[in-house]
Amino acid sequence: MSKNNRRQFFQKAVLATGASLFAPALTWAGDGEQKKTIKPKRLVAGDTIALMAPAGAVFNDEAIQKASQAIEAMGFRVKLGQTLYKKSGYFAGDDAFRAKELQDFLMDKNIAGIVAIRGGWGCARLLPHLDFTLFADTPKVLSGFSDITTLLLAFYKQMGYVTFHGPVGNSTWEGFTTQQFLSIARDAQTPTLKCPPDAPHTTITSGTAEGILLGGNLTVLCSLLGTPFSPDYAGAILFLEETEEEPYAIDRLLTQLELSGQLAHVRGIVFGKCTKCDPEEPEKSFSLAQVLEQKLKPVGVPVFTGAPFGHTKDKWTLPLGIQARIDATAGTITLLESAVL
């Protein structure tokens, strides 16, 4: 089947399911293409950062105020999106509304960054509504985790954007998290990130490796496999995190990633601190540590677990799309290039 026929087939299939009844024609990068990496400009004091809700609704207005204050305390201006105040079931407005606000912010030259106030579920529903050609040349510092993984991976795949697996608006913006975010998104530093002494890492397979840093929430990442929005993980340093999933669910997700063929071609793996992932009935279950050993050790690349990113109070900011090195023995990730211009 030709590229054009494949694209037309997929567009018709999506429309047939009713996934994009009110969306413009789907527009994305060519089938199988990986775009050249594009870095956003670094944040500087006085820049405007848009705060919005691309997925779940905000049911506590105090969260909006706290997020705004945290961003302003870092020296930035805040533009509040209307999605922060919209509610449509568990979404912050309907899909078309959320997608339009995101697209408008991405096209706005006066906005330097976008921070999602929360995750939840819903970012994947935006993808058919986005015309990637309209903002392919206006990269922003886009930060978030959990369901925001969808946007981080899709933007990297479709446009080559460097994106940031980092805090959301309602994260705990205390010293560690803020320092990590600013050092990478504002100061263009290339730090070596090391697990803190009070939360040591666990080495599954020792060694070092270099590659493109890619990853995010395991559930969300797996949900994109087989779609035009999932990157090729060959040669990647893959980082994964999860929350509130029992070991059998982590096993199922890692097996899906394995069966997709993607896991076999990565150069290294970092699994983050998995919060609330203990089995309800330990006597009838493998432990999470056992599952990770079973699924990740056979890959035969350096692997360590316990890194602080994603669903944890103090978190690293990990830029997707840049060269990095891991040392699984030391439990470190070193950024080999700046993530911003």
Residue 242 near residue 218 (C-beta atoms within 8 A): yes
Compute the distance between CA of residue 341 and CA of residue 339 in angstroms, rounded to an integer.
Answer: 7
Instruction: Tell me if residue 146 is catalytic.
Output: yes
**Where do the domains of the chain lie?**
48-185, 192-335
Phi-psi region of 72 (alpha: psi -120 to 50; beta: other; left: phi over 0): alpha
Compute the distance between CA of residue 241 and CA of residue 276 in angstroms, rounded to an integer.
Answer: 12
Comparing C-alpha atoms, which of 232, 223, 308, 224 is closest to residue 270? 308
What pLDDT score was predicted for residue 150?
98
Q: Which of 68, 143, 146, 171 is labelled catalytic? A: 146
Q: Indicate the pTM of the whole model.
A: 0.90
Q: What is the separation, in whole angstroms, between the first and last Cα of the chain?
A: 40
Tell the residue number behind the tokens 């990770």, with chain if given.
Answer: 292
Q: Which of 101, 241, 242, 245 is labelled catalytic? A: 241
Compute the distance between CA of residue 317 and CA of residue 222 in angstroms, rounded to an integer.
Answer: 21
* Weakly modelled stretches of the chain, pLDDT under 70: 1-34
Given this chain, do its domains 48-185 and 192-335 carry the same CATH topology? Answer: no
Which pair of tokens denotes residue 210?
């270099």
CA distances from 307 to 37, 203, 272, 326 (A): 26, 11, 4, 12
Give me the CATH topology for the region 192-335: Glucose Oxidase; domain 1 (3.50.30)
Instruction: Tell me if residue 20 is catalytic.
Output: no
What pLDDT score was predicted for residue 35?
72
Say which amino acid occupies 341.
L
Which pair of tokens denotes residue 38?
């594009």
CATH 3.40.50.300 fits 48-185, yes or no: no
Listing DSSP states for 291-312 in one string gives HHHHHHGGG-S-EEEEE--SSS
Residue 328 near residue 303 (C-beta atoms within 8 A): yes
Compute the distance between CA of residue 38 and CA of residue 57 in angstroms, rounded to an integer.
Answer: 30
Instruction: Tell me if residue 265 is catalytic.
Output: no
Comparing C-alpha atoms, which of 324, 93, 104, 86 is closest to residue 193? 324
What pLDDT score was predicted for residue 33?
61
What pLDDT score was predicted for residue 34?
61
Coil, strand or helix at 143: strand
